[in-house]
Amino acid sequence: MAFILETVVVTTDAAGTAHIAPYGLIADGDGWVLAPFRPSPAIANLAENPFAVASSPRDVRVIAGCVTGRRDWPTEPADHVPGRRLSSDHVHAHLELAVESVEEDVQRPRFRCRVVETVAVTAWPGYNRAQNAVLEAAILSTRLDMLPPEKIEREIAYLAIAIEKTAGRAEREAWGWIIDRIEAHNTRTHNNAAG
């Protein structure tokens, strides 16, 4: 089983327009593999500008926001690759990456990247249970069409315990965004089945 690091990745097109999305980077020796599902603006961006910056956010609202359509997080120029990264005010660290090869695939191409630079911004104290729950719920919310509804419901119920016991304001807000996304999906699915 591969080691996967959950990050928020910024890619840019040739004009410098940034696309921000959460991705699990797959460990690959000294490098990482970025494997976005099609369709993704990241795929087109990496074809135009084969560099990316993966960041470890301080605030789980960045991850929850990205999966619920809230992608307007501040960025700044990367230090060692042409492109942008999440603002240092929002992260613990960055991995600045250069694409070395691409394994094409109809569904999920794999971009093998070498680390150009690792930039530590602040010490990382670790996630509490609520932050971890938000991360897991965010991942679940991207698989609503792939997983049985009962599994989603069961896992969300379990993760909600950590939210109830350990969440601060930011985690509760992020959790609310994800629950709204899941409920909207369930409503659409129900209406489509009924109509």
Q: Is 195's pLDDT higher than 70?
A: no
Average pLDDT, the chain: 93
Which overall architecture, per CATH, does domain 4-120 show? Roll (2.30)
Quick one: pLDDT at residue 96? 98
Q: At residue 122, does pLDDT exceed 80?
A: yes
Element (H, E) at 114: strand 110-120
pLDDT-above-70 percentage for the chain: 98
pLDDT in tens, 27-37: 999 999 999 98
pLDDT digits (tens, 9 = 90+) for 140-188: 999 999 899 999 999 999 999 999 999 999 999 999 999 999 999 988 8
**What does the buried/exposed string (b/e) look like for 149-175 if buried means 16 or more CB atoms within 10 Å of the residue's CB?**
eeebeebbeebbebbeeebeebbebbb
Q: Phi and psi (nearest 5°) for 151? A: -65, -45
Q: Is the pLDDT of residue 193 over 80?
A: no
Instruction: Check residue 189 and give its pLDDT.
Output: 80
Q: Where are the domains of the chain?
A: 4-120, 129-194
pLDDT digits (tens, 9 = 90+) for 64-84: 999 999 988 999 999 999 999
Model pTM above 0.75: yes
